[in-house]
A = this chain, B = another copy of it.
């Protein structure tokens, strides 16, 4: 299949897209080469191509995917295993994209895109769930904040604070110190 001509106007083997080597990618995204290889080992992403000498070559699609992974890891706090679950869907999406191109049955195409939509919906749902839990924690913390402001108001008014039901907690007090 190889069109040996490198100077042909349309060489199917000529890279139409810019490809990047591993260190370049790492520097661009703030990841080490080791991390990129590790992610590949885990099946999170396979670089778009390999060079003749087996160098990993990443394209823009890979970069975007890596940014997504990094976001899920750093921003959303997912484990790589959880990310793998979310990206297993992405892998299917890639395969479907191929199928999409090679079919012309509109029904099948419709089914594929519907499927992809469902996947993204699951991703969004997963992210939303995380965010709601976070929001609940924020509300809780703001509840504590309000409580403190009440105390401040009491102090401003020169009122003795409501008696705390907390016990000291400091190292000095020992419980059941009496009794043999």
Contact = CB atoms under 8 A, between A and B. Distances in A.
A24 interface: no
Interface-central residue, A135, A141, A152, by most chain B CB under 10 Å: A141
Interface of A: 2-6, 11-13, 15-17, 19, 48-52, 57, 59, 61, 68, 71-72, 74-78, 94-95, 97-98, 101, 106, 109-110, 113-114, 116-117, 120-121, 123-124, 127-128, 130-131, 133-138, 140-142, 144-145, 148-149, 151-152, 155-156, 158, 161, 164-170, 173-179
Nearest to A47: B169
Complex copy number for this chain: 2
B75 A136 contact: yes
Contacts of A177: 2, 13, 52
